Amino acid sequence: MPDVLVLGEILVELSSTEPLDAGTSLTLNFSGDALNAAAASAAAGARTALLARVPDDELGDRLLDRVVALGIDTSLVKRVEGQHGLYLQHADPSGAREFTYVRRGSAGSGLGPGDVPLDLVAEVGAVLASGIACAISPLSAKAVRVAAQHSKCFVYDPNWRPRLVSAAGAADHLRAIAPYTRLITPGWPREAQLVADTDDPAAACTTLRGLGIEAVALTRGEDGILLDDAGRLTEIPVVPAPSVVDQTGAGDSFAGTVTARLALGDDLLTAVRLGVAAASLSVGGLGGTGHVPTLAQTQTHAATTEV
Ligand code: KDG
């Protein structure tokens, strides 16, 4: 029995730090926010399973090799006919990071409510899914909702990607999932403001809780986390990153680590502190799973800013 179940699409990742052009060299890896978060959860000590659909081809075999190498249970992964979802991570002409997707109609977006093992979902310590899983297809959004409804501890990362879903669509997904959510991890201000019309982070947390969510971990970049646990506010500072190669997957690392530690019985504040430290270390590698810190590394790193 896993401690944590993560739902979503595993993507083929092709990354470069250069703008895309003929002749650009790309590094092949496997990622997607669900895999990034599941990898962080497994590294944080939780037995972690992925619930996903993966094409039944040679690339799918290599993808699953990588999932297994990250310490993740693949027994709930369904092999199906169809195309891989793919994203290119590259620089835009100004040098900023950009994602380009080739994923519409992918096998992974065919995950549906019928794939969700309800008894298992009700038993596991925590379930994690994101707004990306809701954005990729109505069927996948239903799968997320069914899992949230049956889970005793559901964690939702809005992960709003405007190239996949409009602001109104992302807000609808968030509202639909809110009544079943133990913890949400929105970025400030963009993701919180999907549903909270305010410039005040504390007020945004109150609005989010008003939708039925128990606790909010508002991620504010350099300003750290504002945690609102049933109205109790705590500021958690960032832990400076020892090396910054690429920010991709830092939020997923945070969500996956926090979910794992909650499932294993840590209190929310401890779980969030570890999540912050894991995210800070995760930016030391290229791509979503380029660097996945161990629990021992995360604990040591977290201790560097403890007061
Ligand atoms: O959070 C990082 C993810 O956005 C990246 O790994 C790709 O899953 C991805 C997506 O759909 O954007």
Query: What single-letter amino acid sits at 51?
Result: L
**How remote is the CA of residue 111 from the centroid of ligand 1, in Å?**
17
Nearest to 3 by CA among 101, 121, 136, 156: 121
Average pLDDT of the residues of the chain = 96
Residue nearest atom 11 in ligand 1 by C-alpha distance: 32
Ligand 1 atom, smallest distance to 32 CA = 8
Asked whether 254 and 241 are in contact (CB, 8 A), the reply is no
What is the rounded average pLDDT of the residues 264-270? Answer: 98
User: Residue 306: which pLDDT band, with cuts at 50, 70 and 90?
Assistant: low
- Model pLDDT for residues 230-251, shown as the tens digit of each residue: 999 999 999 999 999 888 999 9
Q: Is 287 in the pocket of ligand 1 (CB under 6 A)?
A: no
- Model pLDDT for residues 65-86, shown as the tens digit of each residue: 999 999 999 999 999 999 999 9
- Model pLDDT for residues 143-169, shown as the tens digit of each residue: 999 999 999 999 999 999 999 999 999
The confidence score (pLDDT) of residue 224 equals 97
Strands (E), the chain: 4-7, 11-19, 27-31, 48-51, 53-55, 78-80, 86-91, 97-102, 126-130, 154-157, 183-184, 215-219, 225-229, 232-236
Helix (H) or strand (E) holding 139: helix 138-150
